[in-house]
Structure 1
């Protein structure tokens, strides 16, 4: 079976599909990794991630339709049309049996071209609400996978199925002890993980910078800052006392060790992108979620889903500077509450999600849509 995957803009649109690719390669289907490839934007988050994965990556022209000026909108239409032509050429060269798309505007050219050529398409929606691209692309797809029952209502009944959120197997198999050893962390001291998604998040980075000294007195901090603020924070780290430096583990980005960072942590402070819905439950990780205020309602809906089930607390972005330190202090100081939140998170995990989507892809490829 030959598979083309597409989606991007954030890691939350990439890692679920990579989990499905892992299931296809390692399970009873034994799909050759050389028969799987990714289609996305040049110099993008998805290209950066795929460079670490050993899968072929094909860059095409893409353009966003939302949040642009009138001239920007016209430029985006031109880029999408150009990407559509490139996608046709890629389909001719790669000749996939099926397409897996995870949303984001980068998915549009390939899915559009696949519909033109009659290739079967499966859309996977990682969020609690569909964005503009997924709403559009779902009309061109044969099947739509969603993570939760409550999301199925957005799509036709004859297309949609509930798969769960696919995550990498390492998240279910990595122990806390092994994860801490891999990252050079103390086995006993509490670990706070902070990250703002694949692009980083300046407000989270700034809040951590301001509260860094008391945070380090209380815990080890694994801070994935993204590239934008890394140099500034590295300078802050260099000025810390040596004992505090040893407890502050700063990274611009983590690739293959991200699973270890999640498994090692006792508490996470993060945005509420789609990955939070699958990755935090997989390791039973309590969360303080700070939804990105300019992401429509997607991140707020994701955060409310986890918070309503006792797995997370929500801090609005505008209140983060004042509330980060006392909220972390209170949670790390209450092990029983942390354990209850972790158990609530783990109860939401669906370990078979990747296999469910893989099976549906194989079925689509076999019957040709």
Structure 2
């Protein structure tokens, strides 16, 4: 199978695509007798190409996985002036032309699109070339772009039953959120040791998304002295706020600093950070839904208020399943984040119950289910 992947803007759109490619590569290894644990019912992945936007986060993530990368121009339309919408519409047309040329050169058997700006020109070009497309929706509620692009796709894969009603009957299938295989299994204490953390106290992972989250960073910095008395903190702050976050760290005593680790971003180490954590503080993006479930990680979710309500829906879903509590972004300045974290860390039974509920949402076979859909579409 020749597979073209497209999606970007955030890690929540990139990592699912790479997880599916990993599953297909494992199937190829099984056919060669190199990996007995993979699914021999899947076709061999002969070639894979990732198409994203120039300068997007996806370029770096994909390069680290050793997957070839090409770029097309693309831009959003929502929330812009009419003039800027016209400019971006012209960029989209140019992006479709670029994607057409990439498809002609690469000759994929099937396209997997996971959302983000780059997906639009790729999906449209694939439709024009009659190349089958599978769209994967990582969020609970699809945005207008995904709903529009679904008309150009043969099939849609979704993470949750709640998403099925947004698509034509019979077009969508619940597969779950595909995550890196390394997230399943593993030892919590070993992960702590690799990260240089102590066995106690508990570990809180603060993660504002692949680009950071300013309001969360400010709230954590304001409550930092209180938080480090309760837990060890892994704070993935992004680049923009790193200086301010480190100033807050410098105000701590030397013993307190031992409990506080700051990072711009984590790549390979993110698996250990997720596994080591007892509680997460995060935006309610797509990756949150799948990766926290995979490791059974309870969370305090702070939906990004300008994401077209997608994150609100994601957070409400996790809360309804007993896997998370929600704090509104507007409440962060009132100290609500520190209060929520303190309450959960002091309530062991509730924290354990939330962890169990998060684990119930995991779908370890999600990448395989999507890979099988791709195989059917490609005729493999």
TM-score per shorter chain, which class?
over 0.9
Aligned to 1:305: 317
After TM superposition, the structure 1 stretch with the greater mean CA deviation from structure 2, 161-170 or 115-124, is: 161-170
Please say if 1:136 is aligned against 2:148: yes
Aligned to 1:14: 14
Q: Secondary structure at the match of 2:152?
A: coil
Q: Secondary structure at the match of 1:275?
A: helix
Aligned to 2:290: 278
Aligned to 1:333: 346
Please say if 1:235 is aligned against 2:285: no
1:348 to 361, 366, 373: 361
Structure 1 residue 111: deviation in Å?
0.7
Aligned to 1:192: 204
Aligned to 1:2: 2
| Residues 187 and 151 (structure 1), Cα distance of their counterparts in 2 relative to 1, 3 Å cut | same
| Distance in structure 2 (CA, Å) of the matches to 1:89 and 1:143 | 24
Aligned to 1:53: 65
C-alpha contact (below 8 Å) 2:43/2:375 kept by paired residues: no
1:178 to 190, 193, 206: 190
Please say if 1:107 is aligned against 2:119: yes
C-alpha contact (below 8 Å) 1:102/1:124 kept by paired residues: yes
In structure 2, list runs of 5 or more residues that go unmatched: 28-39
Q: Work out the number of aligned pairs and report it.
A: 366
| Distance in structure 2 (CA, Å) of the matches to 1:182 and 1:131 | 39
Q: Secondary structure at the match of 1:360?
A: helix
Structure 1 residue 92: deviation in Å?
1.3
Provide TM-score, normalisation by structure 1: 0.96
| Distance in structure 2 (CA, Å) of the matches to 1:318 and 1:87 | 40
C-alpha contact (below 8 Å) 1:280/1:286 kept by paired residues: yes
Please say if 1:151 is aligned against 2:163: yes
| Distance in structure 1 (CA, Å) of the matches to 2:7 and 2:358 | 26
String of CA shifts for 1:205-248, please: whole Å, max 9, x gaps.
Answer: 00000011111111100000011101221233234322122111
String of CA shifts for 1:172-220, please: whole Å, max 9, x gaps.
Answer: 1222112112211112221011011111100000000001111111110
String of CA shifts for 1:77-109, please: whole Å, max 9, x gaps.
Answer: 111111111111101111111000011222111
| Distance in structure 2 (CA, Å) of the matches to 1:156 and 1:188 | 50
C-alpha contact (below 8 Å) 1:63/1:75 kept by paired residues: no
Please say if 1:40 is aligned against 2:52: yes
String of CA shifts for 1:254-308, please: whole Å, max 9, x gaps.
Answer: 1111121111100001000111211111111111010111111110110011101
Aligned to 2:35: none
C-alpha contact (below 8 Å) 1:105/1:133 kept by paired residues: no
String of CA shifts for 1:30-78, please: whole Å, max 9, x gaps.
Answer: 745x711211111111112112211111011111111111121111011
1:209-248 matched pairs, under 5 angstroms: 209-248=221-260
| Distance in structure 2 (CA, Å) of the matches to 1:218 and 1:281 | 24
Provide TM-score, normalisation by structure 2: 0.94
Q: Secondary structure at the match of 1:173?
A: coil
Structure 1 residue 315: deviation in Å?
0.5
Aligned to 1:26: 26
| Distance in structure 2 (CA, Å) of the matches to 1:366 and 1:37 | 19
Q: Secondary structure at the match of 2:85?
A: helix
In structure 1, list runs of 5 or more residues that go unmatched: none
| Distance in structure 1 (CA, Å) of the matches to 2:300 and 2:140 | 18
Please say if 1:95 is aligned against 2:107: yes
C-alpha contact (below 8 Å) 2:53/2:117 kept by paired residues: no
| Distance in structure 2 (CA, Å) of the matches to 1:59 and 1:133 | 19
| Distance in structure 1 (CA, Å) of the matches to 2:125 and 2:316 | 36
